Amino acid sequence: MLVLSSPSGAGKTTLSRRLLQDDRDIDLSISVTTRTPRPGEIDGSDYHFIDVGKFDAMAKNDELLEWAEVFGNRYGTPRAPVLASLKAGRDVLFDIDWQGTQQLREKARDDTASIFVLPPSMAELERRLSMRAQDDAQVIRQRMAKAGDELSHWAEYDYVVLNDSLDRAFADVKTILAAERLKRARQPGLSQFVRGLVGKA
């Protein structure tokens, strides 16, 4: 399980989409949320947009791996699709915030690699948020305040990638994923392979 977190506007969603296009062995975990879709967002692709009643029922029935409330809206990770991907030997990518990451690491620390994406500067972050036509000035101010909160949790992540250039940041994310796949604990066939080698020694 690979987690990408960053303040809104620092590039984690762009990096996630690029990784999904580039790598055929990883699935995106699509969160459920009670917030209203933004213009251009597609239900079932960006999020599963559900109402509060349905969300609370999922949380109550332990159908969410993690969930949190941000600006009065709830966000959560449905458990079933994640388990299905992992069972099929596939990796799963999470585009979630620090609250979700903490919960995920509590549940499956050894199976999780987490990356925090840093913006080059707060001015650049604000510029990127302002370019999103869908957010009004008040939402941008809210998101800038939340950015400071999100940034304060950078030290809880395994890796940190600076997004001063999208191409370089993407190369860093790919490098991390490739190295994580070389970790002994993530190569399930190894034990049998080495037993075969040693048996012939």
| Residues lying near a second copy in the complex (CB under 8 A) | 116, 118-119, 121-123, 144-145, 147-148, 151-152, 154-155, 157-161, 172, 175-176, 178-180, 182-184, 187, 190-191, 193-194, 197-198, 200-201
Contact 45, 38 (CB under 8 A): no
Query: Which C-beta is closer to a second copy: that of 131 or that of 197?
Result: 197
Report the nearest approach of a second copy to the CB of residue 103 (Å).
19
Which residues does residue 73 pair with via DSSP β-bridges, in sequence order?
Answer: 70
Smallest separation (angstroms) from a second copy to the CB of 198: 5
Q: Write down the least CB distance from residue 58 to a second copy, Å.
A: 32
Q: Say how far residue 41 (Cα) sits from the centre of its chain.
A: 17
Residue burial 12-30, b: 16+ Cβ < 10 Å; e: rest: beebbebbeeebeebbbbb
> Of 49 and 154, which has the nearer Cβ to a second copy?
154
Q: For the sheet with 32-33, list strands across it.
A: 48-49, 32-33, 73-78, 64-70
Report the DSSP pairing between strands 73-78 and 64-70.
antiparallel
In sequence order, the β-bridge partners of residue 70 are 73
Using the minimum distance from each CB to a second copy, give the nearer residue, 54 or 181: 181
For a second copy, the closer CB: 52 or 178? 178
Nearest-approach distance from CB 7 to a second copy, in angstroms: 9
CB of 43 to a second copy, least distance (A): 32
CB nearer to a second copy: pick between 9 and 76: 9
DSSP 8-state secondary structure symbol assigned to residue 43 = B
